[in-house]
Amino acid sequence: MLDEVRDAVAEQRGPDVELGGKTRLGATDDHGGPEDSEPAEDEALDKASRWCVCKKVDGQHFLVYGKPRRQRFPFHCVLGPDWWCSFITITLIMIPSVFAVWGAAASMGPFVELLGMISFATCLGSFMLTAFSDPGIIKRQTQAELEQALAENPSGQHVRGLFCNRCNIYRPYTATHCYDCDACIEEHDHHCPWTGHCIGKNNLTFFWVFLSSLLFHFVFVVIVLNLWMGNSGTASAASDPALIADKMLHVAPPIVPDM
């Protein structure tokens, strides 16, 4: 059927032209004048600029709030199929942090308490940026939109990428379809259930920051709680920043190879 559509439209459209490095399909008519495609473009831009609340987006993703064109938390919050796991992760970070930072560290002096607050804020903040940002979801097409796109470009010129049968799109070579999220993700790295969805182009940097800060925060919590419970000396010794730093340097190396 698509071949018939291509043949029928091939005689009625002008050649594709390339504007600013992008191809505009059927940009000119037989007389060299522009086609009336501006209303459709304006409508698409209008939809992309609307503020949405509680809206299902491509695949198994759910837009809690924000504009579809926004991609990063906190201006845009999107949840993946494993959204409940992300809240479990937040709980696992917060519970020991409350005892370590606002309990043990607070009794060891302002320096230790401030270090704990910075460590906790960096760890939790980078996780939320990873879990609630758009990982790089590529908008899917309906079958009708795919047929229309093929009809506008019967020769197949300027089409680059691999075709995804589930999303009905030609995705970039660096993108991969995630079957857990049921969506194509730009620069897909992996699907992480602990963050609720995939790690891709828009949240990979935040993910690495989270892993690094999580390692530091874990070591900090273990050392501070250990000193606070009196397993390493007196209360005055436990409040010594040099002692805490020395303990962290001895605990961290065995953990790093296992990450």
178 residue type, one letter: C
Into how many domains does the chain fold? 1
What per-residue confidence (pLDDT) applies to 18? 36
pTM to 2 decimal places? 0.68
Peptide bond preceding 254 in cis form (omega within 30 of 0): no
Containing domain of residue 236, as a range?
2-11+81-258
Average pLDDT, consecutive stretches of 10 residues, N- to C-terminus, the chain (259 residues): 46 39 40 45 48 72 76 83 94 92 85 92 96 91 78 64 86 91 93 95 95 95 85 48 54 48
Token duo for residue 212: 């690094």
Instruction: Give bridge partners of residue 31 from the DSSP assignment.
Output: none
The Cα 146–Cα 1 span in angstroms is: 12
Q: Is residue 213 part of a domain?
A: yes
As annotated, the active-site residues are 192
What per-residue confidence (pLDDT) applies to 225? 87
For the CA atoms of 39, 167, 187, 259, the dihedral, rounded to the nearest 10 degrees, stands at 140
Q: Is residue 73 part of a domain?
A: no
The Cα 81–Cα 65 span in angstroms is: 16
What per-residue confidence (pLDDT) applies to 245? 57
What per-residue confidence (pLDDT) applies to 9? 39
Q: Is residue 182 part of a domain?
A: yes
Read off the DSSP letter of residue 33.
P
Distances in whole angstroms, Cα of residue 24 to Cα of each of 34, 37, 153, 252: 11, 10, 10, 55
What per-residue confidence (pLDDT) applies to 50? 61
Q: Is residue 204 part of a domain?
A: yes
Q: Is residue 172 part of a domain?
A: yes
158-174 b/e (C-beta count within 10 Å ≥ 16 → b) = eeeeeebeebbbbbeee
Q: How far apart are the first and last CA of the chain?
A: 52
Alpha helices per DSSP H over 49-175: 83-99, 110-132, 143-152
Q: Is residue 23 part of a domain?
A: no
Q: Is residue 175 part of a domain?
A: yes
Q: Quick check: helix, strand or coil at residue 141?
A: coil
208 residue type, one letter: W
Q: Other CB atoms closer than 10 Å to residue 118's CB: what's the count?
A: 15
Check if the beta carbon of residue 221 is closer than 8 Å to that of residue 177.
no
Check if the beta carbon of residue 130 is closer than 8 Å to that of residue 208.
no
Q: Is residue 150 part of a domain?
A: yes
Q: Compute CA 106 distance to the chain's CA centroid, rounded to the nearest angstrom.
A: 34
Residue at token pair 């609720």: 196
User: 46 CB contacts (<8 Å, ≥6 apart)?
Assistant: none
Check if the beta carbon of residue 166 is closer than 8 Å to that of residue 138.
no
What per-residue confidence (pLDDT) applies to 159? 62
Instruction: Give bridge partners of residue 81 from the DSSP assignment.
Output: none
